[in-house]
Amino acid sequence: MLKRKNKIMNNDVNLIFRELQSRNKSIGNCFTAQRLPFSDTHKIGVSEKGTPMFFIQSSLMGIMTNFNLDLISVLFNQQCSLKLEEADKTIDNTYTIVALKTDNTDLTNYFIDVICIVLKRIGDEPNPKLLESEIEKLVELFHCFSKPPRKTIQGLWAELFVIEKSISPEYLIQSWHTETNDIFDFNDGIDKLEVKSTSRGKRMHSFSLSQLSPNQGSDLVVASLFVTVSGKGLTIFDLIKSIENKLSSLETKIKLDEIVSRTLGTDFEKAGDFYYDYQLATDSYKLYYYKDIPSIPVKEVPKEISNIHFECDITSINSINEVALRFPNSELFKSIKA
If one compares 88 and 18, the residue with the highest pLDDT of the two is 18
* Distance from C-alpha of 195 to C-alpha of 158, rounded to nearest angstrom: 7
Predicted local confidence at residue 58, as pLDDT: 84
pLDDT band at 214 (very low <50, low <70, confident <90, very high): very high
Q: CA nearest 33: which of 25, 24, 44?
A: 44
Is the model's pLDDT at 88 over the cut of 90?
no
* Distance from C-alpha of 317 to C-alpha of 61, rounded to nearest angstrom: 64
Is the model's pLDDT at 120 over the cut of 80?
yes
Q: CA nearest 158: which of 263, 309, 294, 246?
A: 263
Predicted local confidence at residue 191, as pLDDT: 97
Predicted local confidence at residue 62, as pLDDT: 72
Is the model's pLDDT at 326 over the cut of 50?
yes
Is the model's pLDDT at 337 over the cut of 80?
no
Specify the pTM. 0.86
Please compute the mean of the pLDDT values over residues 287-307 and round it to a whole number. 93
In this predicted model, what pLDDT tens digit does every residue of 56-71 receive, in sequence order?
998 777 778 899 999 9
* Distance from C-alpha of 240 to C-alpha of 22, rounded to nearest angstrom: 27
3-14 burial code (b ≥16 CB/10 A, e <16): eeebeeebeebb
In this predicted model, what pLDDT tens digit does every residue of 229-254 receive, in sequence order?
998 899 999 999 999 999 988 889 99
Predicted local confidence at residue 56, as pLDDT: 96
Report the percentage of the chain scoring pLDDT > 70.
95
Q: Which region among 26-30, 142-146, 174-178, 272-276 has the lowest average model confidence (pLDDT)?
A: 26-30
Is the model's pLDDT at 309 over the cut of 90?
yes
- Answer yes or no: are the C-beta atoms of 319 and 288 closer than 8 Å: yes
In this predicted model, what pLDDT tens digit does every residue of 142-197 receive, in sequence order?
999 999 998 999 999 999 999 999 999 999 999 998 776 789 999 999 999 999 99
* Distance from C-alpha of 105 to C-alpha of 272, rounded to nearest angstrom: 9
Is the model's pLDDT at 2 over the cut of 50?
no
Predicted local confidence at residue 43, as pLDDT: 96
Is the model's pLDDT at 329 over the cut of 90?
yes
Instruction: Report domain extents, the chain.
Output: 1-146, 153-335
Is the model's pLDDT at 335 over the cut of 50?
yes
Mean pLDDT, the chain, whole residue set: 91
Cβ–Cβ contacts within 10 Å for residue 78, how many? 14
* CB-based contacts of 139, cutoff 8 Å, min separation 6: 67, 69, 72, 74
* Distance from C-alpha of 70 to C-alpha of 55, rounded to nearest angstrom: 20
Predicted local confidence at residue 37, as pLDDT: 94
